[in-house]
Amino acid sequence: MLILSATNGKNLDLAHAFAAEATNSGATAEVISLPELQLPLYDSLEGSSAGDGLLKLAQAMRQHKGMIICAPEYNGSIPPVLSNAIAWLSVSTDDFRALFNARPVALATHSGGGGQKVTLAIRQQLSHLGCTVLGREVLTNSQKAASPEAIAALVSQLNALESSYEGIPTNG
């Protein structure tokens, strides 16, 4: 499974906790920190390029069936680095629809507040793109650590959905 982190801080730590659990359950896990990809701001100018970071992200999405996104709440919504990555994927890959259609996705957050707003916003966007977003999510903050049982349950549920994911042809 592919595990994306929208920060290099607490959400990256959370992503690594998911990767450890996935590995313990026998699954293959890859963690990508979106800030480390250094994608330029998407500006819709013809001829713009996001470089090697976008190629790495798209390739990882092709290699893994399921995905976990660990992202903090930014101003009550999705962090810009995640929105930017999705924008670049939507205009720079030949198989944009195949990257998202029917893909099982789990959501997690370590946020200053409760984190419900970011998971709701990501859920809405990914559902629009065709993903199958799990109902269960992991919400953590400085007063509430991530429960190992919740992480294990989310990984288990995602593993079960991955077995039936085949992707959608790009013309679908």
**CATH code, residues 2-162:** 3.40.50.360
pLDDT tens-digit series, residues 5-40 = 999 999 999 999 999 999 999 999 999 999 999 999
For residue 92, how many other CB atoms are within 10 A of its CB?
18
In the block, tokens 């977003």 appear at 133
pLDDT tens-digit series, residues 70-129 = 999 999 999 999 999 999 998 887 778 889 999 999 999 999 888 899 999 999 999 999
Backbone angles phi, psi at 84, to 5 degrees: -65, -45
Predicted model pTM: 0.92
